[in-house]
Amino acid sequence: MDYRKCAQEIYDLVGKRENLISAAHCATRLRLVTADNSKVNIKKLEDVDGVKGVFSSNGQLQIILGTGTVNKVYDEFLSISGMTAATKADVKAAAAKKQPLPFRMVKALGDVFVPILPAIVAAGLIMGLLEGMTKIWPDMANSGTYQIFHLFSNAAFVFLPILVAVSAARVFGGNIFLGAVIGMIMVHTDLVNAWSVAGMLEAGQQIPQADVWFGLYKINLTGYQGHVIPVIIAVWFMSFIEKRLHKIVPEMIDLFVTPLVTVLVTGYLTLTIFGPVFAQLEEWVLIGVQWVITIPWGIGAAIAGAIYPLTVVCGIHHMYNTVEIGMISNTGLNTWMPIASSANFAQGGACFAVALKTKDKKFKSMALPSSFSAFLGITEPAIFGVNLRLMKPLICGMIGGAVGAAVGSMFGIGATAYGVTGLFGFLITTKFVWQYAIMLAVSFAVSFTLSWITHKDKPREEDAEAEAPAETAAEEPALPSITCEKGKVYAPIKGNVIPSANIPDETFAAGVLGEGVGIEPELGVVYAPFDGEISSTTDTKHAIGISSPDGMELLIHVGVNTVAMEGDGFELFCAEGDTVKAGQKLMTFSIDKIKAAGYSTTTAVLITNSDDYAGLEIKEGACNPLDCVITIKE
């Protein structure tokens, strides 16, 4: 595809540079924050070649482009707009300000995990490959090669708190190296390895303890291997302390005092309060989740499998990483992964049915690769580009995901790692290969069948226009000859006159642009309301400014928010600087197109310098062109 052409079209349709606050991208989406969302033409954005979907959430415009494409379009977008990649932080900040606290917390959790996912995925895949190979060659488990690769496979999990701490420090604005120190403290070799505690208790051994807070209570000297929430809380507090100290400690001693106090305070609070308290809370959450998904007959898993795609839509699905880590740490088996895998595969199946059944070539070319992406575990293109837009495939996928997750739960399927779903999931479910295959097949079959039955192509816009009867434009009335009187404004449109305060737009109704009237049009033709000169026209053809010889300045604005139509349905017959006579045709517009676009057709006829006059008299009700509708009070 032409990446620059795609970027240029996106740039034009989001309102260009003056409407852009910041821009960034993730693995699949171009993420923009705009000054005014009403200036974004979402409908046309969805039709841009390369765009798989458009989604707006909490002040952030997300344009789905897919992996491998988004970064190339993003580079071209920056070149065209003159923006820089440094504005990625602005995107997060602007979006975060518009989100409620719970969403901000979940988003922070996702921001912590996304950067470390490649390390976790690599470790998980190595672990899965090793398990598969030892099934084929059992003696391999006794070889030195196996020992070396086994070391590779669990390194990320053994030192996970350090990875989490570094990533969390970056998210919370702390020093990443101080964050690493906090993570190291939590898995220090002087502490009993958390995975050894159960064995020690079974053997009747005592867990070492230490008196803390001047003998107030004792804590177990155990590490936090496999824990996530205590690490994130500790590093959040560390970042808060560090930033506060940087503000109050004199610069000449800041280099020494700030790191010292930060590590001492945070480290002690972590081992004595944050660690014990939040590790227990994390364990209770894990127990709760495991209880839900183990409700008999797969009912709990089915509920989770149905809801999972909705959390992807909200962008909060990364929170499940915490659950998966806890499962692996406690039991060595991740039973949440089959639920996520069923949900993702089902969305791919629903999308695949649409791809095969649709006759729209452009939609087919988007749906087919999107479904394949979902089969490999990346569902954003399928969900946002196809299923969510059509809604029925999304629901069909949710049903398929629920049934598949229930089957997986009844089989007791689990994975040895996390971060991988779909077809790649076979690599980390080597103990349940045929069960996992059945689960995916059920998810696919249910969602594909339902989506195939329920999907029906919508008429394409151009076909609908061809089939629909042409807008019945009433014959333009013969206008009377009039002699313009000073201080009078004659109706430029046939329709119904209402006070300007009743125009369905706050700016017009409040009189910010002047006082006047609104006209609900019956005919899409605008005539000159008096003899005068055209003082302004807009590129989008929806508004005209006209001045009278005696200094009256009038604005004729057709419809509300029709600037977003970018001239579609409008035609001008005048230009700035033209001298016009009352009754001369200035513009035509399509009432049907304005309504189809979802905008009000009410036309504002406002005297923009009304403050210069004592007041206005208006005539409400039905009007024909050149009926007097406004009279200035002297």
Catalytic residue among 227, 351, 557, 623: 557
Distances 317 to 186, 339, 495 between C-alpha atoms, Å: 26, 12, 52
Tell whether the model's pLDDT for residue 590 goes beyond 60.
Answer: yes
Joined together, the tokens standing for residue 11 give 């740039």
The pLDDT value recorded for residue 61 is 84
Name the pTM for this structure: 0.50
Least confident of 101-105, 264-268, 348-352, 474-478: 474-478
Of the candidates 345, 352, 402, which has an alpha carbon nearest to the alpha carbon of residue 374?
345
The pLDDT of 103-114, averaged and rounded, is 69
Tell me the three-class secondary structure of 403-457, residue by residue: HHHHHHHHHCCCECCCCCCHHHHHHHCHHHHHHHHHHHHHHHHHHHHHHHHHCCC
Amino acid letter, 26 = C
Domain with CATH 2.70.70.10 in the chain: 488-633
Query: pLDDT tens across 370-424, in order?
Result: 888 789 877 767 886 788 878 899 999 999 999 999 999 999 998 887 767 888 8
Tell whether the model's pLDDT for residue 462 goes beyond 50.
Answer: no
The pLDDT value recorded for residue 466 is 41
Per cent of the chain over pLDDT 90 is: 33
Domain with CATH 3.30.1360.60 in the chain: 3-98
The pLDDT value recorded for residue 104 is 66
Catalytic residue among 26, 314, 318, 484: 26
Least confident of 109-123, 585-599, 613-627: 109-123
The pLDDT of 312-324, averaged and rounded, is 66
Query: pLDDT tens across 447-459, in order?
Result: 999 999 999 886 5
H or E element that contains 119: helix 117-136
- Does the active-site annotation cover 26? yes
Residues 3-98: name the CATH superfamily.
Glucose permease domain IIB (3.30.1360.60)
The band of 596, judged by pLDDT with boundaries at 50, 70 and 90, is: confident
What are the phi and psi torsion angles at 174 (to 5°)?
A: -95, 175
Rounded to an integer, what distance in angstroms lies between the CA atom of residue 34 and that of residue 17?
9
The pLDDT value recorded for residue 472 is 39
- Does the active-site annotation cover 557? yes
Tell whether the model's pLDDT for residue 45 goes beyond 80.
Answer: yes
Neighbours of 211 (CB within 10 A): 10
Query: pLDDT tens across 260-272, in order?
Result: 999 999 999 999 9
The pLDDT value recorded for residue 28 is 67
Query: pLDDT tens across 165-189, in order?
Result: 999 999 898 999 999 999 999 999 9
Q: Which fold has domain 488-633?
A: Glucose Permease (Domain IIA) (2.70.70)
Cβ–Cβ under 8 Å, residues 396 and 350:
yes
Give bridge partners of residue 192 from the DSSP assignment: 222
The pLDDT of 105-118, averaged and rounded, is 71
Cβ–Cβ under 8 Å, residues 85 and 30:
no
Of the candidates 66, 7, 29, 618, which has an alpha carbon nearest to the alpha carbon of residue 367?
66
Compute the mean pLDDT over every residue in the chain, rounded to the nearest whole number: 84
Least confident of 266-270, 490-494, 508-512, 562-566: 508-512
The better pLDDT of the pair 93, 358 is held by 358
